[in-house]
Structure 1
């Protein structure tokens, strides 16, 4: 009866396990929306012959192949039928290897050039490249610049260069950010200076918006430029700030967010983020290609499961064994052989496992947003059905046409300056500068006239509590002396309570102007800089440890005990060359990569020596390479790195600091009552006002250049001065964020028109062009170009060289195991030879080895045979 119950239980357990078919997925650490898409697809699959589909998810860091391998093994041992792979190349490569060994299908949704045994649902790059070429020819791109992000982008670009027949057209390839610091302006500025107008942009959605913003800042997003964006998720970004730039920006997409299918999918995937259908329509625009591919891959996998035998055996595989799943290849071929209509269109694979027969939409960014202008499919190629939206209504300028404004400014470089001329000038022609040109551009756009007047005392304006009146240019606006005020006039809450400001035409913050730090002199022990102190300590420990290990193994290993007299066949004792002193000398010679008369003989000692040689090879090479970096770079010796260090070292090092009297910078420190350091700065400036405060920024710049003085100043003004005074530099990051605006009387009717026109100039790149003109080109600009900061030499720490220490330790441990095997075998052989018990000889050997000072080893001879006294018979 008990046997019957056990059999029934086992049968029921086996049947229960067969109830579920499992599919695994490996995602990056932070991928909640991907998991949501994965489980949504699982729920859409009908049970296969009564067996339900279950999803198992493992999260791993983006670039950690070891963790990815462990995750893949865990899923395989859990009995998954397939694995949906990660998006990073490093992880996917290792998971691919594991799946190949176990014959488990790998569903890949990332960009690959040529999949091996995985099933790549991502569109074939060769076909996508052909679409790029079709667009280049349709748009008549003769000479163009290719801007790419990283190595993966370069692979795609290489396909384009290989297939595109330009017939002598010029193609220039530039990496956006070779230093990976998020600043794309140097490359974009170089492209702008070349007057290129046609671009192919290949980068991820993580940086695409920043690239376009910085391109706009340098003047590359105007009505003169044409862009082809290769990113298939281009439409998911917020591109509002580029809609009115009149730039032709073309992209591609697989997913139409306006379709009911995608809208319903948005409702499902983002169900926790909204409660109505309108929000679901908005969220549909956030569905990226990878999310749709995950759903398509899982649902197509469920479709292929119907082609397997009715009661096929699910895999039960140990990742450490050599076994593979019987149906793995069959399932892979089934997936590749069927056609499936997914969210990303028809999914069909060619003989190489590439998704080649597909279609997509061609889109453009217009003033109304993203619009569809055509499509591409495998059979018909590229087709356009452009529908141009009606022109937007003209800017409401009627109220400003032929109106005349009195514009007040002050002669502050580079916002307003007297023009240098050999002939007398009159009226507005007497002045030039950034503010002067900005008013001129606004006048062209809005149709008003203007006359400049100058505020000679250069006071922007402050509220006088004694008189209850505003001074400076703010007071002139309130009193009706001027209609507009423009200069380096900071928008503050106090000023905005008295006058109106236009939208910000320049963003900035407060930073420190100080003398450029001198290069630090090399230290006396600068040769030790390539390694951190921890690595030097571990290096010394490794040296002593390896030397002692070689000495111990040399004593234990029988092969190291040699006959000192080769001519004598049976010597009475043996000698060992691996004394403690010789072992240290051998390790020193290896470390210095020099020869030595000492040569290990046994397998174990040679293994230790080889491991140490490998260790020294890597360490010496790393030291040499990093030493070159330290010798070619010089670290600046700055007395402080930011405002907090300035407060700490100012008194000790005799550094004075100040700002412009009654300026917005002084008020910033006065009102920053929650930061103790800022309050200390304000108290110091008030207590030493006559000594450290200045009436004009020029005086502060002079003091910073000729005295031990730190001047708090707007970042834009610092940038202007450091372009012309090479002995000065900016120290630390911006302390706040603010902007300059055009001041006008409260409740002015033309505020909206001016703000809209400024935004228009910003989108067209006019403001960036004006800033480049007055900061880098005019009045001595470019004398001290901002040099790219050379990467400073960084000492290698344990993370950099930890692997070689690990290899050395493992090699030493293996040598210890080998030497004990060698000793046991030698003792056993010796016991047979000398006719003594094995245990006795083994204990004798061990006792001798612990006599570390003994370097002569007696030879154990066999017992002599007793004499034969027998009679000789004839």
Structure 2
């Protein structure tokens, strides 16, 4: 009599602990001995991402058999339960690959539910949704994983009006690098222009000087040219020196790549539309025709939609029934593929959808609140003497944080953390993406510097070969030329200031 009371008390305590999540009050001091101890249970299961993974080889590529073929949340949980209750178990995969739905025509259950009801298995161990229909056929333990229904859609980029949106295709650091590179190229071309001009063969007379002013380009005009080329206005002059032309060529290649990339990315930004922007709940799907929606035809979700008498689920079920051939899918993967093609919402277990939404390629998202919340449970035959045993150990697992640890190990993932800023942010071009272009431009400038040094030496050598009024050594010629690089420009600016009638404009 004491034993019966002890068992009943433990069951009630377990149930109370699950509902209220408060402390467990234990009655009596007699140790409780499980009816499962030393028993071997035949357990039916079904592959489900994260919860049940079935493979004939292990992670090292070795062939495995028996229980070693099965891994996942459910397997770790049952292993822990067996240690607590002292039983053994043997897994097998359900033959028809179904969770279990009642066929009103044949009046039979299929899948794992059928295997348990017809004596092939002692229990299930898989992410099996607790429903009232299944509960009438057999019985479930307390939920070992809180779950419900929700729907998911392809993640789309949201775009809002932005006055400065035209700069969005490139990151700020890339814009800064482009402008600084344009300045660097301009400064180099300005120096190259001054270093290689023939400062000795100056035309005589103010008239000739004014005539040639338009033909020669000053330092600041040369600096300005890369910025003009950047917006494709066309060059106002072409560098005279080989080094200047070489740097202009590599800068032109860089501009070509940058503008092509910017144009393509800007077009993508401007054509993005968040067509699903108004879909924030299941209610929003009712009445609209742009987005179709469905579920897996063999899931309990479909049965629930067909039998629901509450809105909006009844209306959603009516629409799914009318379009059954096009909106229902045969398995979850087919539904995910259909969803990724766009304009399709998939209803399924929230845990399954969350699993896929939190993993690469991070292109889907669950939407709205979770509804029809019950959870996953272990299914057993009606009036099973093991139900209370499992209820007790499920409560114990909750108290010890077993489920949280397994959830973190098998279900939750950080792969997609930080991607909720929208898909657009991932398509913004950064400096790292264009690094090769800058390597090309600056590599070309380095080559142009070598050419410029050669040109300068060659020009100085020509100065030495001239009349006696010129330097007699290469070093002297180089010194004279370096001193005179800016002298002519300065003298022309003074001449212009002294001649207010001059029509010649100069860069400041």
Normalised by the size of structure 1, how large is the TM-score?
Answer: 0.32
Matched, 1:507 2:146: yes
**What is the aligned partner in structure 1 of residue 214 from structure 2?**
none
**Equivalent-residue separation in structure 2 for 1:734 and 1:687 (angstroms):** 25
Q: Is the 8 A contact 2:51 2:126 kept in 1?
A: yes
Matches within 5 A, 1:583-598: none
Matched, 1:739 2:378: no
Higher normalized contact order (CA 8 Å, seq sep 6+, divided by chain length): 2
Provide closer, same or farther for how the CA distance between residues 393 and 720 of structure 1 changes in structure 2, counting only shifts above 3 A: farther
SS in 2 for 1:772: helix
**Equivalent-residue separation in structure 2 for 1:240 and 1:501 (angstroms):** 19
Q: Is the 8 A contact 1:409 1:487 kept in 2?
A: yes
Q: Is the 8 A contact 1:415 1:433 kept in 2?
A: yes
Q: Deviation digits for residues 486-540 of structure 1, max 9, x if unmatched? A: 21211111111111111111111111110113121315699xxxxxxxxxxxxxx
| Cα drift, residue 445 of structure 1 | 0.6
**Equivalent-residue separation in structure 1 for 2:342 and 2:283 (angstroms):** 21
| Cα drift, residue 690 of structure 1 | 2.0
| Cα drift, residue 656 of structure 1 | 1.4
Provide closer, same or farther for how the CA distance between residues 401 and 417 of structure 1 changes in structure 2, counting only shifts above 3 A: same
Matched, 1:416 2:52: yes
Alignment counterpart, residue 416 of structure 2, candidates 780, 784, 792: 784
Matched, 1:648 2:287: yes
User: Where is the strand percentage greater, Structure 1 or Structure 2?
Assistant: 1
SS in 1 for 2:105: coil
Alignment counterpart, residue 21 of structure 2, candidates 203, 225, 241: 241
**Equivalent-residue separation in structure 2 for 1:671 and 1:643 (angstroms):** 17
RMSD: 2.8
| Cα drift, residue 394 of structure 1 | 3.8
Provide closer, same or farther for how the CA distance between residues 400 and 688 of structure 1 changes in structure 2, counting only shifts above 3 A: same
**What is the aligned partner in structure 1 of residue 479 from structure 2?**
none
| Cα drift, residue 395 of structure 1 | 4.1
**Equivalent-residue separation in structure 1 for 2:164 and 2:414 (angstroms):** 39
Provide closer, same or farther for how the CA distance between residues 483 and 768 of structure 1 changes in structure 2, counting only shifts above 3 A: same
Matches within 5 A, 1:394-409: 394-397=31-34, 399-409=35-45
**Equivalent-residue separation in structure 1 for 2:19 and 2:390 (angstroms):** 23
**Equivalent-residue separation in structure 2 for 1:759 and 1:707 (angstroms):** 42
5+ long unaligned stretches in structure 2: 1-17, 166-272, 423-508
**Equivalent-residue separation in structure 2 for 1:787 and 1:735 (angstroms):** 25
Q: Is the 8 A contact 1:412 1:458 kept in 2?
A: no
Q: Deviation digits for residues 180-202 of structure 1, max 9, x if unmatched? A: xxxxxxxxxxxxxxxxxxxxxxx
Provide closer, same or farther for how the CA distance between residues 240 and 410 of structure 1 changes in structure 2, counting only shifts above 3 A: closer
**What is the aligned partner in structure 2 of residue 494 from structure 1?**
133
Matches within 5 A, 1:786-825: none
**Equivalent-residue separation in structure 2 for 1:395 and 1:439 (angstroms):** 20
Alignment counterpart, residue 80 of structure 2, candidates 441, 464, 477: 441
Q: Is the 8 A contact 1:242 1:763 kept in 2?
A: no
Normalised by the size of structure 2, how large is the TM-score?
Answer: 0.54
**Equivalent-residue separation in structure 2 for 1:497 and 1:644 (angstroms):** 30
Matched, 1:475 2:110: no
Provide closer, same or farther for how the CA distance between residues 710 and 752 of structure 1 changes in structure 2, counting only shifts above 3 A: same
SS in 1 for 2:137: coil
**Equivalent-residue separation in structure 1 for 2:83 and 2:65 (angstroms):** 20
**What is the aligned partner in structure 2 of residue 704 from structure 1?**
339
Q: Is the 8 A contact 2:39 2:88 kept in 1?
A: yes
Aligned length: 294
Provide closer, same or farther for how the CA distance between residues 788 and 702 of structure 1 changes in structure 2, counting only shifts above 3 A: closer
**Equivalent-residue separation in structure 2 for 1:681 and 1:517 (angstroms):** 23
SS in 2 for 1:408: strand
SS in 1 for 2:382: coil
5+ long unaligned stretches in structure 1: 1-237, 245-366, 369-389, 527-634, 791-874
Matches within 5 A, 1:522-561: 522=161
